[in-house]
Amino acid sequence: MEFDLVVIGAGPGGYVAAIRAAQLGLKTAIIERENLGGICLNWGCIPTKALLRSAEVFHLAKHGEDFGVNTGNVKADLEKMVARSRGVSKTLSGGIAGLMRKNKIEAINGFASLISKNEIEVKSDTETKKINAKYIILATGARARHLAGFEPDGDRIWTYREALTPKFEPKTLAVVGSGAIGSEFAYFYNTIGVKVTLLEVANRILPAEDAEVSELVKKSFEKEGMTVNTSVKINSITKERKCVNLHFELDGKVKNETFDAVIMAVGVVPNTENIGLEKAGVAKDEKNLVKVDKFLQTNIDNIYAIGDIVQGPWLAHKASHEGVIAAEKIAEKMKKFDAKHTHPIIRENIPGCTYCHPQIASIGFTEEKAREKYKTIKVGKFPLMANGKSVALGDTNGFIKIIFDEKTGEILGCHMVGPEVTEMIQGIGIAKQAELTEEDLMHTIFAHPTVSESIHEAVLSAFGKALHF
């Protein structure tokens, strides 16, 4: 079996890379040990959003009378919510298989490891075979980080996988870690009626977000009945037959609390072990990430790496974009494509989204980082309570913040919290990629009534020109 390109890993980076390579005329294969679509489609982005949609519908139904709709006694059915979530993933995974067939990509099931820079060994349940490739893209993704003493057991100590397909509905739940994954699961379970305690080692939840966003979301979570603890030191966990005891320190005091289950959401680690990097001579850094140049090429000229095994942020859309870059640069080497318009990723232009309620979306520098990096900045902020569409939606808890370089008008960052901001952030992504300034945004006509016109108001606010606040 010989191919121009073999992609190892069929997540959102790998399968997109394979499709782009096939479009450019490369004989392409993709190897996946589990399901097409990878973690994102099967155990991450997609199924969690399906669960969160169920939580949103339940929340709205409970508050139906606020909108003049009498919904009666509304109940959450966790089993049916999970079944719907798994169905969504199954449908989309099947769609990926169809895309592989459409693009004449050989999909191979098994665990792949490098034998040399051009040889790959694939082991499945039934056979072991070798594949030759002129070029290789490594897209093996990442897995949940396990802390010593807090290893998941599939019963009471969960990672995102167990949280997506729980064997029982807990009455009490601790979530350790308040990044996007932890906050989304904390919100979901709290919304359907579980008593949730969110524990964060940093001095605020969502520590990667702008500080004002973190504070608003914390207050929102607490208003909905969640217990939120920050600056926590986790000491140990003791499992019993029907519960777990979590031992931690808070405000200088030792706490011992009992929960039905604990979700460990403390980050991810790259899947770079046991895939033959050493045999092929591929270099890694001190964090076990594969070293690559700006076009994702490793130190071995025919091997590229993308997604969660290279420098972050570790997001599906970043991996997909990297897959296209790598495929186009490989096609150029094979004289099948002119990659003069293929550009490296600008990391400050990668948006990030968290789908709890209120939704969170951000791009670029936080206000704190912008002040550190630039001499003078302008910051505009517009509260959604002053936005007509948000008032009509009955969802005014949030704001839009946008940050500019005062000297040049460059957009340095934007931070949104509120209804459908995960759909709105792309507008700022386009503006940053196109290197638009505050003047361009001021002269852009935003539709009314929309939540997105709050972006316009935030821009105006930064320069003392706000019209509605």
Domains, the chain, with CATH or none: 2-143+269-334 (3.50.50.60), 157-266 (3.50.50.60), 358-462 (3.30.390.30)
251 is in an annotated binding site: no
Confidence of residue 377 (pLDDT cuts 50, 70, 90): very high
Is 448 tagged catalytic? yes
User: Which residues have a Cβ under 8 Å from the Cβ of 403 and sit 6 or more positions away?
Assistant: 364, 365, 367, 370, 377, 378, 379, 380, 411, 412, 413, 414, 462
| Residue 65: DSSP 8-state | G
Confidence of residue 148 (pLDDT cuts 50, 70, 90): confident
154 is in an annotated binding site: no
Residue 147 has pLDDT above 90, yes or no: no
- Which spans in 274-366 are helix H? 277-280, 316-333
Q: Which helix (H) or strand (E) holds 62?
A: helix 45-62
pLDDT of residue 1: 85
> What is the C-alpha separation between 53 and 80, in angstroms, rounded?
13
HEC-encoded secondary structure of 179-240? CHHHHHHHHHHHHCCCEEEEECCCCCCCCCCCHHHHHHHHHHHHHCCCEEECCCEEEEEEEC
Asked whether 255 and 266 are in contact (CB, 8 A), the reply is no
Confidence of residue 411 (pLDDT cuts 50, 70, 90): very high
Provide the 10 A C-beta neighbour count for residue 123: 13
Q: Which helix (H) or strand (E) holds 381?
A: strand 377-383
pLDDT of residue 40: 87
User: Which residues have a Cβ under 8 Å from the Cβ of 427 and sit 6 or more positions away?
Assistant: 452, 455
95 is in an annotated binding site: no
184 is in an annotated binding site: yes
* Mean predicted lDDT score pLDDT of the chain: 96
Give the active site residue among 321, 343, 415, 448: 448
Confidence of residue 358 (pLDDT cuts 50, 70, 90): very high
178 is in an annotated binding site: yes
- The per-residue pLDDT for range 156-197, each reduced to its tens digit, is 999 999 999 999 999 999 999 999 999 999 999 999 999 999
Could you tell me the pTM of the whole model? 0.95
Average pLDDT (396-414) is: 97
- The per-residue pLDDT for range 207-255, each reduced to its tens digit, is 999 999 999 999 999 999 999 999 999 999 999 889 999 999 999 999 9
pLDDT of residue 350: 98
267 is in an annotated binding site: yes
308 is in an annotated binding site: yes
pLDDT of residue 154: 84
Residue 434 has pLDDT above 90, yes or no: yes
Average pLDDT (299-314) is: 97
Asked whether 118 and 131 are in contact (CB, 8 A), the reply is no
181 is in an annotated binding site: yes
Average pLDDT (25-48) is: 93
> What is the C-alpha separation between 5 and 8, in angstroms, rounded?
10
pLDDT of residue 221: 98
Q: Which helix (H) or strand (E) holds 462?
A: helix 453-462
pLDDT of residue 241: 86
pLDDT of residue 356: 96
435 is in an annotated binding site: no
pLDDT of residue 231: 97
- The per-residue pLDDT for range 321-351, each reduced to its tens digit, is 999 999 999 999 999 999 999 999 999 999 9
